[in-house]
């Protein structure tokens, strides 16, 4: 363990034993275990994220505050790669974690010999036009950018579908902020444009997603990547032999017919909003049950509304069904404790579906019965600093400090409540 102080913020980084804890750094996904799909691929998610953050391990010896722009050169000295951004962590061994102007987090290990040049300029995130240009430059000439108030959507699925998604995301964002502000959580509008990529179909999505985030992402219907801060999706209204929908009404009709998959889109968009509004901090030790429970609390699509999001906090039927089955057949007495203190049940392919269902159920219960404590817990978690990993005991203590240490009574109340939820 190494203590360090920089910019007035004391960061304590624990070494090595972060693999099982940090797999969720990489990718937040609705379908991890949620609907019994492809449970075997959950492990690949862990492995992908391990690779993504491996360069940080044994490295994050000095945390940096401040918003100075730096230029980092690394790789082949004859033709080095150059990235400009803001240092988040600078390691004693020379490795760095860099936040790019496009919001991407770059891990550049000491093996790549990064050279940091401090520029006499402030770090500023891209505005919408700059981000649009950067995305299209990266993705290729057949992408076009659609901008809404808070989003930049690079799309190969046509402007109509991108605009329809943008309108949906804007409505979700607004409802999300309103919902939590009225509950006493002072969230902020995102201070930078939120990037999204929409592919025309499943096949080209799969190629990109697999390369970007691993095999699990390639098998999903969309994902949110914490390192890139992007949601990556494809046109769910497209299909073999179908002409592309060109009106909002037709897109909505087709989306409603695919509402099962639309839930994934909403789930991923919710993750992105939560990580960009001051609720969660990227690369901080956010409890998985909390981040996933939050996304599931919002994931039921509300495609009919023109404002608001009427399905916030509705009973999530697939999750409820799974939770009640878990309760009847597999749930252990210490289930709350293991859920809130460890990622083990989320990583285990045989347990993940139950962990997701229980995360939704616990979120639903706490919001119904212990809203103020839940909000206080969210406030506490929002203060977490990046790249500091808690151990299971610390997580449990944190949970108990919000909801009380009598988990037995809480568990009894939780189960009583969930059994009383109407099934239909």
Binding site for Zn ion (CB under 5 A): 28, 292, 295
Which CB sits closer to Zn ion, 45 or 295? 295
Nearest approach, Cβ of 179 to Zn ion (angstroms)? 18
247 burial level (CB within 10 Å; 0-12, 13-18, 19+): exposed
Which CB sits closer to Zn ion, 161 or 223? 223
Question: Quick check: 167 and 149 in contact, CB under 8 A?
Answer: no
Nearest approach, Cβ of 24 to Zn ion (angstroms)? 9
Of 125, 263, 273, 299, the closest CA to residue 185 belongs to 273
Which CB sits closer to Zn ion, 60 or 295? 295
Neighbouring C-beta atoms of residue 395, cutoff 10 Å: 20
Of 292, 288, 291, 309, the closest CA to residue 300 belongs to 309
Neighbouring C-beta atoms of residue 82, cutoff 10 Å: 11
Nearest approach, Cβ of 95 to Zn ion (angstroms)? 28
Which CB sits closer to Zn ion, 13 or 345? 345
Which CB sits closer to Zn ion, 150 or 280? 280
Nearest approach, Cβ of 211 to Zn ion (angstroms)? 21
Which CB sits closer to Zn ion, 160 or 268? 268
Nearest approach, Cβ of 76 to Zn ion (angstroms)? 37
Alpha-helical (H) ranges within 234-391 are 248-257, 259-274, 288-298, 317-329, 335-341, 344-347, 352-369, 371-382
Which CB sits closer to Zn ion, 185 or 294? 294
Which CB sits closer to Zn ion, 292 or 354? 292
Which CB sits closer to Zn ion, 32 or 336? 32
Nearest approach, Cβ of 128 to Zn ion (angstroms)? 26
Of 85, 77, 115, the closest CA to residue 103 belongs to 85
Question: Quick check: 64 and 123 in contact, CB under 8 A?
Answer: no
Nearest approach, Cβ of 259 to Zn ion (angstroms)? 17
CA distance 42 to 352: 8
Question: Quick check: 45 and 26 in contact, CB under 8 A?
Answer: yes
Nearest approach, Cβ of 292 to Zn ion (angstroms)? 5
Helix, strand, coil tally for the chain in percent (to 5): 45, 15, 35
Neighbouring C-beta atoms of residue 324, cutoff 10 Å: 17
236 burial level (CB within 10 Å; 0-12, 13-18, 19+): buried
Nearest approach, Cβ of 234 to Zn ion (angstroms)? 17
* 69 contact partners, CB below 8 Å, separation of at least 6: 84, 85, 86, 119, 121, 122, 123, 124
Nearest approach, Cβ of 83 to Zn ion (angstroms)? 28
Which CB sits closer to Zn ion, 128 or 367? 367
Of 167, 144, 170, the closest CA to residue 155 belongs to 144
CA distance 129 to 102: 11
Instruction: Give residue number: closest CB to Zn ion.
Output: 28
Question: Quick check: 98 and 386 in contact, CB under 8 A?
Answer: no
């Amino acid at each position: 363990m190494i203590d360090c102080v920089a910019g007035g913020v004391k960061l304590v980084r624990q070494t090595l034993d972060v693999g099982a804890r940090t797999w969720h750094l990489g990718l937040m996904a609705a379908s991890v275990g949620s609907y019994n799909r492809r449970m075997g691929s959950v492990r690949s998610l862990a492995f992908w994220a391990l690779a993504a953050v491996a360069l940080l391990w044994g490295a994050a010896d000095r945390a940096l505050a401040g918003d100075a722009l730096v230029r980092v050169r690394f790789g082949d000295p004859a033709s080095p790669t150059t990235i400009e951004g803001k240092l988040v962590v600078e390691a004693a061994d020379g490795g760095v974690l860099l936040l790019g102007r496009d919001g991407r987090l770059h891990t550049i290990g000491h093996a790549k010999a990064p050279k940091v040049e401090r520029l006499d300029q402030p770090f500023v995130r891209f505005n919408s036009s700059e981000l649009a240009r950067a995305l299209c430059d990266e993705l290729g000439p057949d992408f076009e950018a659609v901008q809404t108030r808070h989003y930049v959507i690079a799309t190969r699925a046509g402007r109509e579908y991108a605009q329809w998604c943008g309108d949906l995301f804007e409505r979700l964002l607004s409802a999300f902020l309103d919902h939590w502000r009225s509950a006493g959580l002072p969230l902020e509008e995102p201070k930078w444009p939120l990037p999204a990529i929409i592919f025309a179909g499943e096949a080209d999505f799969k190629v990109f997603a697999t390369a970007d985030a691993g095999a699990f992402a390639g098998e999903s219907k969309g994902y949110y990547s914490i390192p890139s801060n992007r949601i990556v999706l494809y046109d769910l209204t497209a299909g073999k032999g179908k002409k592309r929908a060109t009106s909002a009404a037709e897109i909505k009709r087709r989306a409603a017919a695919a509402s099962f998959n639309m839930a994934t889109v909403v789930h991923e968009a919710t993750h992105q909003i939560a990580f960009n509004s001051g609720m969660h901090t990227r690369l901080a030790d956010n409890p998985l049950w909390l981040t996933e429970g939050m996304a599931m609390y919002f994931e039921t699509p509300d495609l009919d509304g023109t404002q608001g999001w009427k399905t916030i906090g509705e009973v999530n039927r697939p999750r409820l069904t799974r939770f009640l089955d878990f309760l009847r057949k597999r749930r252990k007495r210490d289930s709350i404790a293991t859920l809130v203190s460890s990622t083990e049940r989320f990583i285990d392919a045989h347990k993940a579906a139950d962990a997701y269902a229980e995360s939704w159920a616990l979120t639903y219960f706490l919001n119904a019965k212990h809203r103020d404590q839940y909000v206080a817990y969210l406030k506490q978690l929002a203060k977490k600093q990046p790249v500091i990993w808690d151990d299971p005991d610390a997580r449990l203590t944190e949970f108990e400090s919000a909801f009380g240490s009598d988990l037995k009574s809480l568990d009894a109340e939780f189960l009583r409540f969930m059994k009383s939820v109407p099934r239909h």
